[in-house]
Amino acid sequence: MKIHEYQGKELFRNAGIPVPNGFPAFSVEEAVEVYKKLETNKVVVKAQIHAGGRGKGGGVKLAIGSEEVQKYADDIFGMNLITHQTGPDGKCVQRLLIEEASDIARELYAGIVLDRSSGKFVFMVSSEGGVEIEKVATGSPERIMKEWIEPNKDLRPFQARKLAFALGLSGVQIKHAVKTFLSLWKFFKSYDCSLMEINPLVVTNSDEIIALDSKINFDDNALYRHKNIQEMRDLSEEEPSEVEADSFNLNYIKLDGNVGCMVNGAGLAMGTMDIIKLYGGEPANFLDVGGIANAETVAHGFKIILSDPNVKSILINIFGGIVRCDRVAQGVIDALAHMEVTIPVVIRLEGTNAIEARNLLKDAEHNFIVANSLADAAAKAVKATGEKI
Amino acid sequence: MSILINNETKLVVQGITGKEGAFHTQQMEAYGTQVVAGVTPGKGGQKDDNGIPIFNTVANAVSATDANASVIFVPPTFAADACLEAIDAGINLIVCITEGIPTMDMVPVKEALDNSHTRMIGPNCPGIITPGECKIGIMPDFIHKPHGNVGVISRSGTLTYEAVHQLTEQGIGQSTCIGIGGDPIIGTTFIDLLSLFKDDSQTDGVVMIGEIGGSAEEDAAQWIQNNNFDKSVVAFIAGQTAPPGRRMGHAGAIIAGGKGTASDKIESLRNAGITVCDSPADIGKTMANSLQSKLTT
């Protein structure tokens, strides 16, 4: 799960990690009120969406005086912000962060990620703040310094010191950086984060270390123990059909193609998308219906797939293990008896009771296109996008 | 021969009285697996519906029954602790089926595994099967062909079944099939299993099913190149059409920071001389061809 920058900064503030003074604003008027409350001359007006690259896209502006705050807030609020992370459609800005401008001497980077091969978290810093860290990683990897955090232990003060000195910090900066690094790790651990990036982490002219950004991803599997984080979820940042699928415990991701898919299992669902593409089609979605493919889940799956007007055919691919194919087939038949589906439905059932399932489909009222294999199913589903039933 | 499990493996089921645990215990027993004990804290001294003795702790189960393998059907909140308990009891092989364990909980488990002789498969996996001998997991067993010469290693569940089904349709039996799990931290990697298959005289070929996220497939490709692995290897990587930044079902299946893409993995595997199928429908056929060409050369 992701949260907004202003929510992350609020959490940071409570955890003793220095951030600029600032508040969120949900309208242009509120932005001006926040400005007055901050009692400072220079502020930054920042669009709050769940994507990076906001500055380049015109979503971050430095403002001096309440007139400029009003002007920029007016420009940014409600704008469709397009960045390299939003996709071509962009995202509508509905929240702003108004915060005190910082007196920046240096821009650094700090991040924590999982190193999968060692099974340990790794704390990374770089002197190249403010730019895309992926570019630093490929262009000049020696500029990224790493310390691995030992299991059952925390980031140690000596590790934080190593990183601070490697960044070329000196004097009181060292003390501030060490404190901030240790706090960042404690925060990461206590909230079950899966990724954290502070880009930039700045050194001010008065030697303070301040987090100017906060990109935090939380481990979905651990959200059950963090009620306060769950409450920060902003559903307007998510695809409505994905939110609906989630409420039915279906794992759905919307894509841009025209062949809808309903599959059991994440790996097979990805494999099915891939084979659709291989046969000249484009998958419209990822949908893993999991281990319970009954009439109800199938009906919800259909509803969600069909809410996408681009979908021109549907491919159901189920490999029945514990799930019996005849039950799935009956589920599909029952679901379609209660809803109008006017595009071709290609169905491939393999595994437990596959033959019984095929017989059920053959006798069904709905005109299914039954496929005998994965390749056959993909070919038929792609071909069917041009057909009416 | 096979790897890791055979008809002598003695299994303890952690979470045997839960719905999933009870159902799959019955399925595993029916397949011929020696299920010697179950563990549910507080129910020690009882027996399950099939007469399998239940213990309060894994240690008790091991000392009473000599169990050497464990399967975990414990809910995600308690699963990491169940893994640690099995490691502490000296179990040789843990198979953790549970999906949804927080990553922060798995870090100490991985550490405990590294400091013990215990091997763990999973979590978030379908398990392991040596067809015709022993099944520890939730996979549909009837799709397998016993006593074969091809091993299967996969990060996926149903996609593994798809591959096994294709092998069986080609008349190719399997030596041992392992679902290693879809989480970011897993107990056993492609490399661990490739090295076991390397020394298994029964296995002539290995199917590797990878997916987006992490670099386990690239690491495996490098290992194959460095270790003169001369058996047939056929691979498929799921997620060629997956968008970056999105978690595709499995917690580990995510392209992050430009890393973990399918195309990078496919390129590394091909550079190591491994046959990579473009289509998941061609896995069985491709392995058949590869085994055939090995015979004729």
State the SS3 of A81-148.
Answer: ECCCCCCCCCEECCCEEEEECCCEEEEEEEEEEEECCCCEEEEEEECCCCCCHHHHHHHCHHHEEEEE
Distance CA A191, CA A10 (A): 14
Distance CA B202, CA B147 (A): 8
Nearest beta carbon to residue A268 from set B158, B212, B258: B158
Asked if B160's CB is within 8 angstroms of A374's CB, the reply is: no
Does the global pTM surpass 0.90?
yes
Distance CA B134, CA B31 (A): 7
Instruction: Tell me what percent of chain A is helix, strand and coil, each rounded to the nearest 5.
Output: 40, 25, 35
Q: Which long-range contacts (CB under 8 A, 24 or more apart) does A88-93 make?
A: A90/A57, A91/A49, A91/A50, A91/A51, A91/A237, A93/A47, A93/A48, A93/A49, A93/A59
AA letter at A243: V
Name the packing angle between helices B76-88 and B58-65 (round to 10°).
Answer: 40
Distance CA A195, CA A188 (A): 8
Distance CA A53, CA A72 (A): 18
Distance CA B288, CA B5 (A): 25
- Nearest to residue B154, comparing CAs of B226, B272, B236? B236
Whether chain B has a CB inside 8 Å of the CB on A192: the answer is yes
Read off the pLDDT of residues A214-271 as tens digits, 9 standing for 90 and up. Answer: 999 999 999 999 999 999 999 988 888 999 898 888 899 999 999 999 999 899 999 9
B225: number of Cβ within 10 Å: 14
SS3 A45: strand
Tokens matching residue B78: 């308690």
Backbone region of residue B4 per phi and psi (left: phi > 0; alpha: psi in -120 to 50; beta: other values)? left
Distance CA A347, CA A338 (A): 18
Whether chain B has a CB inside 8 Å of the CB on A355: the answer is no
SS3 A165: helix
Distance CA B126, CA B34 (A): 18
- Compute CA distances A335 → A284, A294, A328, B80, whole Å: 21, 9, 10, 39
Distance CA A94, CA A98 (A): 13
Asked if B243's CB is within 8 angstroms of A119's CB, the reply is: no
Instruction: Kindly report the nearest CA distance between residue B297 and chain A, in angstroms.
Output: 30
B113-126 per-residue burial string, b: 16 or more CB within 10 A, e: under 16:
beeeebbbbbbbbb
CA A146 to chain centre: 25
- Nearest to residue A77, comparing CAs of A29, A144, A133, A114? A29
User: What ipTM score was computed for the predicted complex, to two decimals?
Assistant: 0.91
Distance CA B117, CA B94 (A): 11
- Cβ pair A20, A69 in contact under 8 A: no
Mutate to test the interface with A, among B241, B254, B259, B265 (most CBs of A within 10 A): B241
CA dihedral A303, A304, A305, A306 (to 10 degrees): 50
Instruction: Kindly report the nearest CA distance between residue A44 and chain B, in angstroms.
Output: 27
Nearest beta carbon to residue A120 from set B107, B161, B253: B107
Which chain B residues have a beta carbon less than 8 Å from that of A286? 242, 248-249
Which chain B residues have a beta carbon less than 8 Å from that of A374? 162, 280-281
Whether chain A has a CB inside 8 Å of the CB on B22: the answer is no
- Nearest to residue A148, comparing CAs of A122, A124, A166? A122
Distance linking the first and last C-alpha atoms of chain A: 40
Pairing of strands A22-25, A96-100: antiparallel
Query: Which residue numbers of B are catalytic?
Result: 250
A319-339 per-residue burial string, b: 16 or more CB within 10 A, e: under 16:
bbbbbbbbbbbbbbbebbeee
Instruction: Write phi, then psi, for A70 (nearest 5 degrees).
Output: -60, -45
Interface size A-B, in CB pairs within 8 Å, comes to 170
Asked if B258's CB is within 8 angstroms of A351's CB, the reply is: no
SS3 A63: strand
Which chain B residues have a beta carbon less than 8 Å from that of A322? 23, 138, 140
pLDDT lower than 70: segments of chain A: 291-293, 388-389
pLDDT lower than 50: segments of chain B: none
Asked if A267's CB is within 8 angstroms of B238's CB, the reply is: yes
Mutate to test the interface with B, among A49, A85, A116 (most CBs of B within 10 A): A116
Asked if B280's CB is within 8 angstroms of A275's CB, the reply is: yes
A52: number of Cβ within 10 Å: 18
SS3 B234: strand
Active-site annotation holder among A5, A10, A147, A197 = A197
Q: Does an H or E element contain A287, and which? A: strand A285-288
pLDDT at residue number A277: 96
- Cβ pair B249, A252 in contact under 8 A: no
Tokens matching residue A7: 């929510």
Q: Which of residues 203-232 of B touch A (CB under 8 A)?
A: 209, 211-212, 214-216, 219
Asked if B257's CB is within 8 angstroms of A271's CB, the reply is: no
**Burial (Cβ within 10 Å: 0-12, 13-18, ≥19) of residue A142:** exposed
Whether chain B has a CB inside 8 Å of the CB on A133: the answer is yes
Instruction: Write phi, then psi, for A211 (nearest 5 degrees).
Output: -85, 110
